[in-house]
Chains A and B, each alone.
Chain A
Amino acid sequence: MLFLIEYNREKGEIVNIRKFDESKKTDAESARLDLELDLRRKGTKHEVVILDAIDEARIRRTHRRYFESLEELAKAS
């Protein structure tokens, strides 16, 4: 499963997340480029990244920073 994430670093929050089946990798990559181009035109500085894992639970474990606030990260540890 591929996860296309738009992340607002300053707020530390995910703006949007889209999921793609593993077989749709090219679609996910094209969506990433379209999103980056769109954000550039709008002058919005968000981080755009594709993550790849068998399920969302694993992404939430290995890339907690995208999903949890600093307080949540510290308290859940």
Chain B
Amino acid sequence: MANNLNKTQVDKLGDRLRKGDITEAELRLLDDYRRSFSEAYEFVVRAIRDELGLEPTGRPAKSTTSIIEKLLRESIRLSQIQDIAGCRLVVSGIEEQNGTVTLLQKLFQRVTVVDRRKNPSHGYRAVHLIVRHEGKLVEIQVRTSLQHLWAELCEKKADVFDPLIKYGGGDSVTTALNLRFAAAIEDAELKEWQMSLADKVLSGLSARRGTLSKSKQAELDAFLKEQRTWRKKLDSYKKTIRDTLQELIAELENPDRG
């Protein structure tokens, strides 16, 4: 069983997969290797369900196609791939995303956080947590609904037009549209998050306005006015998202598209 394969043997299998024309024996070995992540996967998903009451969607094992693509795309060994097993949580916005990440960090002892909001990958933003359980890694993706929408659209375009789109390749129009869409989403999400934080503080202060000095009341009024300006900005960011989606639809419906 490949469960007993050592790291060198796993990486040799990866080298053969990278060369293509995969044999039946190699497919069986890869399948055994993937199955060796089952216990770690179940540990992670069960903990998220039982301890946090969240409902992740799991992918107990990365597909052969995706593994081979990753080996070909990156100078990575099979044993180094961190997302052989994984699951995904889609949450409403940045605030819930941050809260979920904090809960997951507390839930698992050996966890590494990869914040792709700080370092987006060709426009892809999300937070990934890599949990280590008995020597096996399991990736948890935490995406907001807008980050998820971006990723789904990008992956689908990669499926039907060009796999390189997912990694910043493909034609320049698509690449530019993807990045513009990602930037609009980032702007809207950050502004919404900042506003929600400010709302909490301002509503608390407004509730005890009568106890504030005149100068503090004037400061509060100035903040409330600024908040209204922010709200208008947020509306404009959301409009940019809608406009970009319309552009995408128009591009898809263009009969001259190759």
Q: Which residues of A contact B (CB under 8 A)?
A: 9-12, 25, 29, 32-33, 36-37, 40, 45, 47-54, 58-59, 61-65, 68-71, 73-75, 77
Q: Is the pair A47, B61 in contact by a Cβ cutoff of 8 Å?
A: no
Interface presence of B219 (CB below 8 A): no
| Contact status of A47 and B66, CB under 8 A, knowing A62-B57, A73-B153 | yes
Interface presence of B90 (CB below 8 A): yes
5 A-B contact pairs sorted by A residue (CB < 8 Å): A36-B31, A37-B24, A49-B62, A52-B58, A77-B149
Interface presence of B105 (CB below 8 A): no
Interface residues of B in 28-57 (CB under 8 A from A): 28, 31, 35, 38, 45, 55-57
Q: Is the pair A33, B28 in contact by a Cβ cutoff of 8 Å?
A: yes
Count of A-B residue pairs with CB < 8 Å:
94
CB within 8 A of B27: which of A36, A45, A71? Answer: A36
Q: Is the pair B65, A45 in contact by a Cβ cutoff of 8 Å?
A: yes
| Contact status of A49 and B28, CB under 8 A, knowing A9-B65, A71-B249 | no
CB-based nearest B residue for A51: B59
CB-based nearest A residue for B163: A9
CB-based nearest A residue for B248: A74
CB within 8 A of A53: which of B35, B57, B160? Answer: B57
| Contact status of A74 and B252, CB under 8 A, knowing A11-B160, A37-B24 | yes
CB-based nearest B residue for A55: B55
Interface presence of B136 (CB below 8 A): no
A12 CB to nearest chain B CB (Å): 4
CB-based nearest B residue for A12: B160
Name B's interface SS: helix
CB-based nearest A residue for B149: A77
B contact residues, total (Cβ < 8 Å)? 37
Q: Which residues of B contact A (CB under 8 A)?
A: 22, 24, 27-28, 31, 35, 38, 45, 55-66, 87-88, 90, 148-149, 152-153, 155-157, 159-160, 245, 248-249, 252-253
Q: Is the pair A62, B90 in contact by a Cβ cutoff of 8 Å?
A: yes
Query: 9 closest Cβ contacts across the A-B interface?
Result: A52-B58, A62-B57, A12-B160, A49-B63, A53-B57, A47-B65, A9-B159, A65-B156, A33-B31
Q: Is the pair A58, B24 in contact by a Cβ cutoff of 8 Å?
A: no
CA–CA, A21 and B61, complex, Å: 17
Residues of B within 8 A of A74 (CB): 153, 245, 248-249, 252
Residues of A within 8 A of B59 (CB): 49-52
| Contact status of A75 and B249, CB under 8 A, knowing A50-B60, A58-B55, A62-B90 | yes
CA–CA, A43 and B17, complex, Å: 16
B207 CB to nearest chain A CB (Å): 37
Residues of A within 8 A of B157 (CB): 70
Q: Is the pair A53, B55 in contact by a Cβ cutoff of 8 Å?
A: yes
CB within 8 A of B60: which of A37, A52, A71, A77? Answer: A52
CB-based nearest B residue for A49: B63
Residues of A within 8 A of B88 (CB): 62-63
CA–CA, A36 and B88, complex, Å: 24
